[in-house]
Chains A and B, each alone.
Chain A
């Protein structure tokens, strides 16, 4: 089967013209197909876009002109067919060119005089086929752009849905307008930060340690300076980056309000490990005030449970110990890892 847009159509029904032309093209590995009748040409041009069309002047009847005109009118915007017309010596080429240019918009008529200069014709055909390759690139680019626009539209709607849900739930949990502004602003900023990290990392993967550091960085000015991170390199997929990023944000906000970071001596350790097919992340607060389990589930606790359940297929273990809050999240590593992490030399079993 000839390559896409690379087959030359030949309509030269008199004498041995078609056979000679096809043989000539074949010796130069240019695929072609001969259409002896007008009906066969019409059917073929109705179905596919040829690489180029070669037609002899005496075969250029009103019907053939109409067939080509209809084909050109139906071709996509990116397509421009090269129509090679083989004319007799002494034929009024200027008049014919003017007529065909008017009749065949979206084509590039080229004339070669018989007897044919073989090299000249081959050069013309090859030039037409090269133009078709460029047109094919344009076609593929347009298709890719359409696909990307569709995907972008879908992602924007999902982001808006997330922002809408964050706002509605934050509003329900806020007692004052200031509380709403502060909580919603913090959550939106985290979402924006995760999006930027994903974008800068190429769109589909982000490093876990880098993500946690990014999310915790705004808390340094609010007393959240005592944190230690430890774990192997893990390349997160975009859903895991969003889920874990917002989870860390909620845990940090909670620590500032009630936990380890509400006092100067408090510390937070975030450890993660990858063992075989399993991933585990532990958030441990120490040195803060003694915590009692909350009497009601606020936005933060609900989000952390929902996000980790959604991401890892099981809810996290949350303990309110005398030394501070401990959260352990476990699940299959394939749920959180990017499918093709860039250049990673990770041992099979790592972690503390």
Chain B
């Protein structure tokens, strides 16, 4: 599968990338803000996007998830903003709360794969 990571913490980006690759998938792109991700999303094809809510350009992860939802492209929040994530759960296929257990991320990957 092709996965995109929208996350502004490089440590979490790396961690997600490693997990995605170890699970046999490809991380096809990363971005630290919705503004940075948008032109990439216009071009890239991917099966799932992991999205943090609080990014370098503000709380734009919600807008990012809505943009993908409007185009029937699945995404999953990976965030410490659990209340905001729950309030916008209709935009995503799942929510992983930081600090996350690796099994939660793998469960989401498996859910999308199947």
Contact = CB atoms under 8 A, between A and B. Distances in A.
Nearest to A187: B11
Nearest to A154: B80
Contacts of A302: 14, 17-18
Contacts of B107: none
A96 interface: no
Contacts of A162: 9, 11-12
A106 interface: no
Contacts of A303: 10-11, 14
A75 B29 CA distance: 52
Contacts of A310: 8-10, 13, 30, 32
Contacts of B14: 165, 169, 302-303, 306
Nearest to A303: B14
A129 to B, nearest CB: 37
Interface residues of B, number: 21
Given A172-B18, A313-B36, A161 B54 contact: no
B102 A161 contact: no
Contacts of A311: 10
A158 B15 contact: no
A158 B9 CA distance: 8
A153 B99 CA distance: 12
Interface of A: 153-154, 157-158, 160-166, 168-169, 172, 239, 243, 246, 302-303, 306-307, 309-311, 313
Interface of B: 8-15, 17-18, 30, 32, 36, 54, 56, 80-81, 98-100, 102
28 contacts: A157-B80, A157-B98, A158-B98, A160-B98, A160-B99, A161-B9, A161-B11, A163-B99, A164-B99, A165-B11, A166-B11, A168-B15, A169-B14, A169-B15, A169-B18, A172-B18, A239-B56, A243-B10, A302-B17, A302-B18, A303-B11, A303-B14, A306-B11, A306-B14, A306-B30, A307-B11, A310-B8, A313-B36
